[in-house]
Structure 1
Amino acid sequence: MRPIWLGLALATCAFAVPASAKNASKSTQTKSAKHASSRPNSSSSDDAEGPKDWCAPEVTELEEHVCYFDGDDPAKSEGHHTLVIYLHGSLATTPGFAWLQQRSMANYAKRHGFTVLLPTSPKNAAGNGYLWPTSIPAQREHEAKVLADIQRERKELAKRVGHDFDETFVVGFSSGAYYGSGVAVRGALTDIDGYVILAGGASPGQHLAATKNRAPIFVGVSASDRQTADDSRRYAHALAAMGWPHRVEERPAGHTVDPTFLSQALSWLRTKTRNTAHRTGG
């Protein structure tokens, strides 16, 4: 098992992948930026020159740099109100860059009948992008505020949509997967019913698995993403070694929030967590 500090250090790179993948990550970011600027499903006004809001037109601003989409449809979730907290991949500071991921999650929310909360991570040390605090120094500096903000935003979102949520899942992708994988085993967020870790994963040390109530974790191994596939596998193996409730699936997906993984994860977590008292404490 790779030491936790090494897994966390690798996650500080662009798109939370090992240093050897920097060039590939830059290429992915460039492609994402092109998609964000073209916005094929948007109206012509979206593409006009001028300042852009942080939140895409298809989602709603909850507060500065925090968006949401209310796709709540109990008919698609057996009468339950489901909240998904999405921990994004690496983002540039340019307004409009985040729209691609926001729009994708809004589409998934509509398809699967959940409400999605879209917080934004702190800026990186260089100030030219947004990454979750995956390194130990970054966690010491930022994590308390990150977790407190998410808890506050959850409460505000419940007020905004007019109801509480029956189940809450965390979906972490790329940088968000490396961070979310650690949050899961540490029980750092309270009242979470399950985690979905996609395209990443920091192998936890045994000493980090101190939380008594273990929320189930779905690990999607993107086999075509050579930069993160082995990290995802190592994370799944570590969960198995700890006897952690988890499910691991592997398919030839690239560096993306794979819709098959997401569908599998939601179905499994909803079955796994209902009527089960396992909510994580801090």
Structure 2
Amino acid sequence: MPRLFWDHAGHGEPLVLLHGIGSTHADFTALRPALDDRYAVFAPDLPGQGASPAVTGVPSVAALADAIEADLDDLGLHRVHLVGNSLGGRIALELAARGRALSVVAIAPSGLGLPPERLYEGALLGGTRMVLRSSRRLIEPASRSRWGRTVLLTGLRSMPWRASRPEALALRDGIAGAGDFWRLLWHAVLSDVPTDLRIPDIPVVLAQGTADVLAGGQTPRFRVLIPTARFTPLFGAGHAPQSDRPAAILALVDGAVAAARAAGTRSAPEPLGAVRGAPRGD
């Protein structure tokens, strides 16, 4: 039985969506209708966020990847297509290095920020946590209007008025409500420095919004560790651009999956285990 909360919908090749720190699986709401039509989509709340329990011990990237990997085993999924944003992108690359990926689309993965960039990122995320934590009861009413969602998601989206209510509410259950936020921020984001990402010969796409005000220019630096990866800018998009440029992201996912198919990579069968949470669209 999986330990984490997973939202599941669709049929076909398995696709796992990994959100960033301070959010939940709902951060991918804008992409889900199209992805659910094409793939068997599995979207967890990362450990210590949303409805998922925290890991025991230090919540490092390796520990978070261990938790995802254990649940993939319970679900009967050996190798999957991975899409991750921010911390989720970093975890996706870690899982790929462990041989669990068919393809990877990593959007603004964390881990290669310079010291001043890490200080800025920590201050921005920490300050946002304190503000939203103190006004958590206001997030739900604010999520009902376009103006409220714009206020809540400015800094993460370049076009926050396009975001849906579930995307805004993800902040309530993620950055405002996550009991393990500070440990995750320190151990999984600010202290994390990937040094060994020997990823098998699979399609790896690195993407970052050109209007990303949180992560600086760290995404292209991953090409030093992953020389076979392809970098694609998402023009006009923010740090978490799922509703800024959904069509562009879908094209990247479909392209990576098609490349994996062309290379003859075999996908896992339909999952064998039970999924916690409320499956959608089945």
Of the three residues 145, 163, 179, the one matched with 2:91 is 179
Match of 2:207 in 1: 220
Q: TM-score, normalised by structure 1?
A: 0.52
Structure 1 residues 83, 143: CA separation in 2 closer, same or farther (over 3 Å shift)?
A: closer
Change (3 A) 1:197 1:101: same
Cα distance in 1 for partners of 2:222, 2:215 equals 11
Matching of residues 54-73 of structure 1 within 5 Å: 65-70=5-10, 72=11
Distance in 2 (CA, whole Å) between partners of 1:63 and 1:219 is 29
Match of 2:107 in 1: 198
Aligned match of 2:158? none
Q: Which residue pairs with 1:103 in the alignment?
A: 29
Q: Which of 48, 66, 85 is the aligned partner of 1:144?
A: 66
Amino acid at match of 1:123: G
1:65-144 to 2 correspondence within 5 Å?
A: 65-70=5-10, 72=11, 81-91=12-22, 98=24, 100-101=26-27, 103-110=29-36, 113-123=38-48, 138-139=60-61, 141-144=63-66
Aligned match for 1:188, one of 76, 82, 98: 98
Per-residue deviation at 1:132? Answer: 9.6
State the distance in 2 between where 1:252 and 1:227 align. 14
Question: Residue 172 of structure 1: CA displacement?
Answer: 0.4
Structure 1 partner of 2:232: 249
- Alpha carbons of structure 1 residues 151 and 104: separation in structure 2 relative to 1, 3 Å: farther
Q: Is the 8 A contact 1:179 1:202 kept in 2?
A: no
Write the distance in 1 (CA, Å) between the matches of 2:52 and 2:248: 24
Measure, in 1, the Cα distance between the counterparts of 2:53 and 2:211. Answer: 23
Partner Cα separation in structure 2 for residue 269 and residue 227 of structure 1: 26
Q: CA offsets, 1:35-81, max 9 Å, x none?
A: xxxxxxxxxxxxxxxxxxxxxxxxxxx886211111x4xxxxxxxx2
Give the secondary structure class of the aligned counterpart of 2:88: helix
CA distance in 1, matches of 2:8, 2:257: 21
Task: Give unmatched runs, 5+ long, in structure 1.
Answer: 1-61, 73-80, 93-97, 156-164
Partner SS for 1:193: strand
Letter in 1 for 2:15: V
Alignment deviations for residues 236-276 of structure 1 (CA, whole Å, 9 cap, x no partner): 34423xxx2x2211122112223133223123213321242
| Bigger RCO (CA 8 Å, 6+ sep) | 2
Is 1:169 aligned with 2:76?
no
Q: Does the CA contact (< 8 Å) of 2:18 and 2:85 recur in 1?
A: yes
CA distance in 1, matches of 2:22, 2:194: 31
Q: Distance in 2 between matches of 1:270 and 1:140?
A: 25
TM-score w.r.t. structure 2 length?
Answer: 0.52
Counterpart Cα distance in 2 of 1:63 and 1:201: 25
Q: Is 1:153 matched with 2:75?
A: yes
Q: Which runs of 4+ in 1 moved over 6 A?
A: 128-133
**In structure 1, C-alpha distance between the alignment counterparts of 2:67 and 2:25, rounded to whole Å:** 24
Alignment of 1:239 onto 2:226:
yes
Deviation of 1:196 (Å): 0.5
Contact 2:5 2:52 in 1 (8 A): no
Unaligned runs of 5+ in 2: 113-191, 268-282
Equivalenced residues, count: 182
